[in-house]
Amino acid sequence: MQDDSQNDPPRSVPHDIFAHKADSFRRRAEDIERRGLQHLERGLLMSAVEALREAIEIYEGLRDTSRAESAEQYMALAMYEQGEVEEAVQIWEDLIARGWDRPTTLNFLVRHYEELGDAQAVERIFQKLERSKRDGSGFFSDFEGVERPASASLERRDSATLLVADNDPAVRNVLGKILEYSGYNVITAEDGEAALAAIFQGAPDLVFLDIYMPRLSGLDVLYRMRAEGINTPVIVISGRPHATMVQDSKVLGARFAAKPLDFEKITEMVTDLLSE
């Protein structure tokens, strides 16, 4: 009698199929989230909310809480700016209650409560941020243990190395090529976490940070840099600058450039910053 077990599918097939489907869903969520952030940057607020909500649902299905919460932060911003203030504030408060302590979210709430004259709420949020710094939890411990090379140990560079961190691949490509044509070494990152890892590991001479990036916003990255004592020159870029985020980035020593980028002015700004 023939042994039919030889024709049985490998035991790993179901797992492989599941992994393949999960990867497919993740790529879809990332594409939708990217589109939502682009809508937000262009002022298409309703479209931004719809896209980000869809991305959140997929991330939650994948149990990717961190990525879902990052998208929630931006969805709430789009809602806030189109007049759904109470709903947006509730989302931010819920995020914080679950342990989310990104400076971007905290600053949105601080500005909101300052406008209301609610000093108690402002103090409450500042205490959360200070507690996070002191205890080394949450945002301020995400990259604990990532070693940065000492400047003395870095390989000698013939030209400056610039990091371009932007959610939009077209911006990374075009700005990167312009800077390379100007004689600089260029590295790129597509989200805030990748940008921060590149900064810690590669010590670039200057950093471009898009404001609206997944995982960590450009402002989150800038806060972490300064908290770590990294005073590398930073140029914050955005197609739709949010007043609070631009103000906070300037307080942290960054310059700002609006999209669409004027590449002649950008190269002049880079030259100026690197000569300081």
User: Does 135 map to a domain?
Assistant: no
Q: What average pLDDT score do residues 209-231 get?
A: 90
Question: 29-50: buried (b, 16+ CB within 10 Å) or exposed (e) per residue?
Answer: bbebbbbbbbbbbeebbebbbb
- Counting residues of the chain whose pLDDT is more than 70, the rounded percentage is 82
> What is the phi/psi pair of residue 197, to 5°?
-60, -40
Residue 138: pLDDT over 70 = no
Whether residue 30 is contained in a domain is answered as: yes
- 160 with 256, same domain: the answer is yes
Q: What is the CATH number of the domain that holds 187?
A: 3.40.50.2300
193-205 per-position pLDDT tens digit: 999 999 988 889 9
- Do 91 and 189 fall within a single domain? no
User: Band of the pLDDT at 164, cuts 50, 70, 90?
Assistant: very high
pLDDT at 134: 61
Q: What integer best gives the mean pLDDT of the chain? A: 85
Strands 206-210 and 234-238: parallel
Q: Per the domain annotation, does 225 fall within a domain?
A: yes
Average pLDDT over residues 152-180: 81
Contact at 8 Å (CB) between 59 and 71? Answer: yes
pLDDT in the model for residue 78: 95
- Supply the pTM of this predicted model: 0.82
83 pLDDT above the threshold of 80: yes
Confidence category of residue 151, pLDDT binned at 50, 70, 90? very low
Hey, what are 72's tokens?
């929630």
Q: What confidence score (pLDDT) does residue 247 get?
A: 82
Per-residue confidence at 133, pLDDT binned at 50, 70, 90? low
- From CA 174, how far away is CA 124, in angstroms rounded? 43
Q: Which residue has the tokens 């450039």?
A: 257
Residue 153 pLDDT > 90:
no
**Domain check: are 95 and 160 in the same one?**
no
**More confident: 114 or 154:** 114
Instruction: Report how far residue 74's alpha carbon sits from residue 66's, in angstroms, rounded to the nearest whole number.
Output: 13
Cα 253–chain centre separation? 18
Residue 5, pLDDT > 80, answer no
What pLDDT is stored for residue 139 in this prediction?
61
- Tell me the C-alpha distance between 268 and 259, whole Å: 16
| Closest among 216, 182, 212, 211 to 200, alpha carbons compared | 216
Please tell me the predicted confidence (pLDDT) of residue 129.
75
Instruction: Judge whether 191 and 218 are in contact, CB under 8 Å.
Output: no
Query: 147 or 217: whose pLDDT is higher?
Result: 217
141/5 Cα distance (integer angstroms): 51
CATH code for position 22: 1.25.40
Q: Any idea which residue has 């869903």 for tokens?
A: 25
Judge whether residue 64 has pLDDT over 90.
yes
Question: What is the arithmetic mean of pLDDT over 96-119?
Answer: 90
Task: Name the domain boundary from 100, 123, 146.
Answer: 100
One domain, residues 189 and 262: yes
The total of structural domains in the chain comes to 2
Identify whether 211 is part of a domain: yes
Do residue 77 and residue 163 come from a single domain? Answer: no
Can you list the alpha helix ranges (DSSP code H) found in 82-217? Answer: 85-97, 103-116, 119-135, 169-181, 192-202
Task: Note the pLDDT of residue 128.
Answer: 84
Pair 184, 267 in one domain? yes
Has residue 147 been placed in a domain? no
List pLDDT tens digits, range 20-63.
788 899 999 999 999 999 999 888 999 999 999 999 999 999 99
Given 68, 100, 132, the domain boundary residue is: 100
Question: Is pLDDT of 175 > 90?
Answer: yes
Please report whether residue 200 resides in a domain: yes
Same domain, 184 and 91: no
**How far is Cα 168 from Cα 207, in angstroms, rounded to an integer?**
16
In the predicted structure, residue 242 carries a pLDDT above the cut 90:
no
Is the peptide bond preceding residue 260 cis, with omega within 30 degrees of 0? yes
What's the domain range around 53?
Answer: 13-100
What residues pair up with 255 in beta bridges, in sequence order?
235
Is residue 127 included in any domain, yes or no?
A: no
Directed axis angle between helix 119-135 and helix 103-116, to 10°? 160
Q: Which of 166, 212, 189 is nearest to 44 (CA)?
A: 212
State mean pLDDT over 248-276.
Answer: 90
Judge contact between 190 and 136, C-beta under 8 A: no
CA distance 241 to 2: 71
Tell me, yes or no, whether 109 lies in a domain.
no
pLDDT score for 39: 94
226 band by pLDDT with thresholds 50, 70 and 90: confident
Which of 54, 70, 100 lies at the terminal end of a domain, its last residue?
Answer: 100
H or E element that contains 209: strand 206-210
CB 187 within 8 A of CB 164: yes
